[in-house]
Structure 1
Amino acid sequence: MVRKVVTTVRLLAGLLVILLGTSAPVAAGFRLVSYNVENLFDLTLSGSEYPDYTPGAAMGWNEATARVKYANIASVLAGAGADVAVLSEIESPKALARLQRELLNAGHPLAHGVVATHPSIVRCAVLSCFPVSEVRDIIPGPEQRAILRVTLDVLGTPVVVYANHWKSKQGPESQRMLYARALSADIATLPSGTDYILAGDFNAHYNEWQRFPEEPRLNDTHGKTGINHLLGTVFNDAMVSEEGLKKGRGKHYDLWMELSPENRWSYIYHGRKGSLDHILLPAALYDGHGISYVDGSFQRYTPDHLMKNGEIFRWQRGDRGRGRHQGRGYSDHLPVYAEFRMGPFTPVRTPRVIARAPSPKQSPTDVSVADLYNLPAGSSNYRLRGVVVLYKAGSNAVVKSPQGRAIYLYKAGKALETGWIVDMTVTRLKDYYGLREITSLTDLEVRGKADTGAHLLTVDDGVNLSDASRVNEVVAEVCGLYHGGWLHYGKGRSIRVYTVKGVARPPDETFVCLSGVRIGYHRSPELVVDRAGQVKQVNR
């Protein structure tokens, strides 16, 4: 069953552009993030919810807990830099619209959004900074979730995105075969050479056919799997390679193959890591026409706050996951992402952002500040170029990529001066209670001077300072009521304030303005006051 809803989508997209504002994708390309958000329900009683998500009932799914859940998911998408987001487990258009509002609050608008229309408790959805020109539901079978097919207008080039959420492993492989057959049949209707991307939660590992002996109850298909055999990610009992795909040896390349085997996971079940979330590409993304894959760009998004005690920091509920909502956590999956650009495919020998830290003996790898949040801690050899020194306190500093992220230098910024534009080689990264830091650098080169004011974070009613993507930013000014170590600002927002040794805390119940403070992180975001001059009491 296929349903066209083009006119409705265009109208909705137009309204969302007016209400939410437009995104500003990089003209040369975009980043696609695939993320199972784990049960993002709205607060309207429809009767089809899971009982644990009945609004206002005993399990505690209410405005307070929903506010945290939506803000946390939005912070992940913003932190991952999504230009296009393929989402699993969205309840409704109302839930997606609220997520869009949270993304706007996080300073990362994705104005165009669509949800599968075929009835199911949770559905697939797509958010995009590009307009949507066509939407279809692909129905694998009775009582199955729809695969959502969305055509995006990427700077005049149509790109088809298939959002997937296949049957869970509570059922045998034959149930996932239904999805693979329906998806393959729809792909066969596309004109030859169409640029398309398969993404989502396939509930199958990249090497599913090899893992059947470990889970024989799943194998009711004589060793064949939907993802490997029907979608053609294997050829002659081996995973398809990029070179093989271009030569017709296989139908799709699974981007998990770009990472080392120990890093091929985005989900943990009873201590076992798995690769259920995928981005699969056809040969059309490796040709010289339309959109092409940026070779080596596939990664998991793994900032420290998405992990806790070696486990994914999923949405927390009491009684070992069966009780009340606790108002903490994110999802039971990690996001994965890949980048695409206009123009012909360009192969590279090693990924742009690699899974292992390179040897310091090698030439440094050029990266952005945002990339440093996804690279492993420890010895490193990464080159930052054109970053601005926003903040200096003794031998500590903050540097920021223009229009990008900022990062803290702990006891590594003695030679820097506020306002410098510099190139530097990062030789050690560290995580300190969730804060990513540079602790050692070399080969510093000063390129010029910058107006730091243009790079400070301006706080208005839409800015949430507790958003994880804001960590290490330097705030121009934020004003509010100080009480008990917390600053209450904006419309109902608050953030902890940490004053370093020797700096007096403001008196309780005073209205203060903090200027030039950085957003640190010690198990949760906090404003760090290094100097008394950064705090000013104000008479209201």
Structure 2
Amino acid sequence: MKKYLLFYILLFCFADALEFKVGSYNVKNLFDDKIQGKEYEDIKQKRGQWYSYDYKEKLKNITQVLKDMDLDIVSLQEVENRSILDEIKRVVPSYKYTYFYKRADSPIGLSILSRFKIVSNDIITVQKHNKKSRDILKSTIKIENQKLIVYTNHWRSKRAQESSRVPYAISLVDDIKRLDEDMDYIIVGDLNSNYNEVFSFKNNKKLNNTYGITGINHILNTTIDGKFITKQNITKISPYYQKIHYNCWLDTDRRDRFSYIFKGNFNTPDNIILAKTLFDNKGISYVDRSFKVFKPYYLYKNRKIQNRYSDHLPVFAHFDTKKRFKIKPKTKNINSIKHLYEIEDIKETIKLKDIIPIYKHNDSAIIVDDQNSSIYLYNVAKDLKVGFHYNLDVLKIKDYHGLIEITKLENIKILKKEQQDVTKYFLNSQDIDIKNFEYQNKIITNLKGVYKRAKADRRKKLHYIFKNRKKKISIYFLDKKLIPKDRTRLKIKTARVSIYKGKIQLIISKASDFKIY
């Protein structure tokens, strides 16, 4: 009897539960075929060739994306006018509620489309007298008798320095501080800032004119004291009079962290940033690990975003009106190398057991565990010898431009005195695509090619053949004296597969790693 009673109680509690999707998409200059005077100069010049057919094709492409994503709420950036939004609504009629806004002197504006009732729309002014600034759209939406605020943003591009983006964050936070303490809200849009901007821009003299302060990390408080706000600590940290936020990019594998590619580098300008209240088990909750980049084949193929749709990829996440937030662990065994790739920093010591160094140069090394997962030890492998078995404690990791490194160890204990042959852990480059991100921190061997600079390359690369297809890959030589001359034939005997700013490259550490033939 008690079992049946419990069943009906649970059924009643979750009967009205509703899971819904919220997304953001920069549609890249969705202009119609009419001259209205506010267009960008290059758009005006193209309007002679910008036939009605071209506009309709672009509109068809964007509405196809919206239909396929099947979002309940979506924010769009770079729509020219209300008429275009009305046309989108006509093609995708499930969006009963819409709103469009742009400044009178702006070529493009902000839009929101919703299947739920939009109760109100307010405008947060950003630098009123700056003609290049764009305001923020604040939409209050009613979902199952609960309110959700969606802040739609389109911050200044990186043609401008960081001081041009900080005012957006300040204006946003000023409004957030006036909200009720329990209000659920989401910050979405093209912030023209990477989720880890504080780390990625600090040495960029062109952008960093704010002494390392960023709008997305420091003002929105997606980081505190140089560390990311995480799902694990967002409800536990209470900085004095400050709102803290979780950036959903942390929910994805590092190899998938991009919605925009600039000069071959992966970037994350399109963000979904969450309030603390979406983790407090009251009202609306975030569905763990639901954040995704929408990239079907027609939007993204051969490592390129298909420009006829947009130069950005859309992003989205799931939320629920009744189910309580619960973390879904990726890896059951936290004391593993695999787990180190899934976390941003180490809260408690990670104890690795029975690991083997398979490659070493100076005080750095590659280690593998019994699951054949590998990782790079940067400048902390002095006491390790290749081929021996160890237990060790990991205290600190670092994301160096996309490459995960261990940077602090302790309690190193040797297990077996006999040295093991480590070549069985090396990967034959003839059997695998070395440009696949899954081979990060692996050692590859048996790669032949010509080291040269092609017309399209800024620097010399190794040109090689893989399964009858021409390929090329960058090589970084730790010792600059080892760099071969142009058009040198190389045989790579051992090289470390690395990542730098979203690109796979090989690391050559010493002369014995390769030979010229």
Give the TM-score range, shorter chain: 0.5 to 0.7
> Could you say which residue in structure 1 is the equivalent of 2:116?
130
| Counterpart residue identity of residue 305, structure 2 | I
Are the counterparts in 1 of residues 103 and 135 from structure 2 also a CA contact under 8 Å? Answer: yes
Are the counterparts in 2 of residues 52 and 61 from structure 1 also a CA contact under 8 Å? Answer: no
For residues 41 and 27 of structure 1, the distance between their equivalents in structure 2, rounded to whole angstroms, comes to 39
> Could you say which residue in structure 2 is the equivalent of 1:347?
326
> Could you say which residue in structure 2 is the equivalent of 1:32?
22
> Could you say which residue in structure 1 is the equivalent of 2:357?
none
Aligned counterpart for 1:112 among listed residues 97, 105, 113: 97
> Could you say which residue in structure 2 is the equivalent of 1:261?
254
Give 1:55 deviation, angstroms.
9.7
SS at match of 1:246: coil
Are the counterparts in 1 of residues 102 and 110 from structure 2 also a CA contact under 8 Å? Answer: no
Structural mapping, 1:455-474, within 5 Å: none
For residues 119 and 326 of structure 2, the distance between their equivalents in structure 1, rounded to whole angstroms, comes to 30
Are the counterparts in 2 of residues 33 and 336 from structure 1 also a CA contact under 8 Å? Answer: yes
For residues 182 and 295 of structure 2, the distance between their equivalents in structure 1, rounded to whole angstroms, comes to 34
Give 1:85 deviation, angstroms.
0.5
Matched, 1:186 2:165: no
Are the counterparts in 1 of residues 284 and 320 from structure 2 also a CA contact under 8 Å? Answer: yes
Give 1:288 deviation, angstroms.
2.3
For residues 350 and 333 of structure 1, the distance between their equivalents in structure 2, rounded to whole angstroms, comes to 29
| Counterpart residue identity of residue 269, structure 2 | L
SS at match of 2:92: helix
| Counterpart residue identity of residue 114, structure 1 | Y
Deviations 1:34-87 (CA, angstroms, capped at 9, x unpaired): 1101011123321001234349932x2222111111111111111112110011
Cα 1:303/1:101, change in 2 over 3 Å? same
Pairs aligned (count): 309
Matched, 1:300 2:293: yes
Flag structure 1 segments of 5+ consecutive residues without an equivalent.
Answer: 1-25, 315-328, 353-358, 360-540
| Counterpart residue identity of residue 298, structure 1 | F
Matched, 1:70 2:63: no
For residues 198 and 310 of structure 2, the distance between their equivalents in structure 1, rounded to whole angstroms, comes to 27
Aligned counterpart for 2:36 among listed residues 46, 52, 57: 46
For residues 191 and 117 of structure 1, the distance between their equivalents in structure 2, rounded to whole angstroms, comes to 27
TM value normalised by structure 1: 0.55
For the aligned residue pairs, the C-alpha RMSD in angstroms reads: 2.0
Deviations 1:250-303 (CA, angstroms, capped at 9, x unpaired): 700000001121111110001111011100001111122221111111111010
Moved over 6 A (4+): none
Matched, 1:331 2:320: no
Give 1:117 deviation, angstroms.
4.0
For residues 86 and 79 of structure 2, the distance between their equivalents in structure 1, rounded to whole angstroms, comes to 11
Structural mapping, 1:362-511, within 5 Å: none
Matched, 1:139 2:118: no
Flag structure 2 segments of 5+ consecutive residues without an equivalent.
Answer: 1-15, 332-337, 339-517
| Counterpart residue identity of residue 123, structure 2 | D
Deviations 1:323-377 (CA, angstroms, capped at 9, x unpaired): xxxxxx200000111001112533132479xxxxxx9xxxxxxxxxxxxxxxxxx
Give 1:304 deviation, angstroms.
0.6
> Could you say which residue in structure 2 is the equivalent of 1:83?
72
Give 1:29 deviation, angstroms.
2.2
Give 1:28 deviation, angstroms.
0.8
Are the counterparts in 2 of residues 55 and 62 from structure 1 also a CA contact under 8 Å? Answer: no
Give 1:102 deviation, angstroms.
2.3
For residues 85 and 243 of structure 1, the distance between their equivalents in structure 2, rounded to whole angstroms, comes to 27
> Could you say which residue in structure 2 is the equivalent of 1:309?
302
For residues 286 and 50 of structure 1, the distance between their equivalents in structure 2, rounded to whole angstroms, comes to 42
Structural mapping, 1:14-33, within 5 Å: 28-33=18-23
Matched, 1:156 2:142: no
For residues 283 and 136 of structure 2, the distance between their equivalents in structure 1, rounded to whole angstroms, comes to 24
Are the counterparts in 1 of residues 249 and 271 from structure 2 also a CA contact under 8 Å? Answer: yes
Cα 1:351/1:195, change in 2 over 3 Å? farther
Aligned counterpart for 1:276 among listed residues 269, 280, 288: 269
Cα 1:157/1:217, change in 2 over 3 Å? same
SS at match of 1:149: strand
> Could you say which residue in structure 2 is the equivalent of 1:212?
201
Aligned counterpart for 1:242 among listed residues 227, 231, 234: 231
For residues 171 and 55 of structure 1, the distance between their equivalents in structure 2, rounded to whole angstroms, comes to 24
Are the counterparts in 1 of residues 195 and 268 from structure 2 also a CA contact under 8 Å? Answer: yes
Are the counterparts in 1 of residues 162 and 214 from structure 2 also a CA contact under 8 Å? Answer: yes
Give 1:310 deviation, angstroms.
1.9
Give 1:217 deviation, angstroms.
1.2
Which has the larger Rg?
Answer: 2
For residues 351 and 126 of structure 1, the distance between their equivalents in structure 2, rounded to whole angstroms, comes to 33
Cα 1:351/1:75, change in 2 over 3 Å? farther
Cα 1:213/1:289, change in 2 over 3 Å? closer
> Could you say which residue in structure 2 is the equivalent of 1:252?
245
Give 1:307 deviation, angstroms.
1.7
Cα 1:57/1:296, change in 2 over 3 Å? closer
| Counterpart residue identity of residue 118, structure 1 | R
Aligned residues: percent identity?
35
TM value normalised by structure 2: 0.57
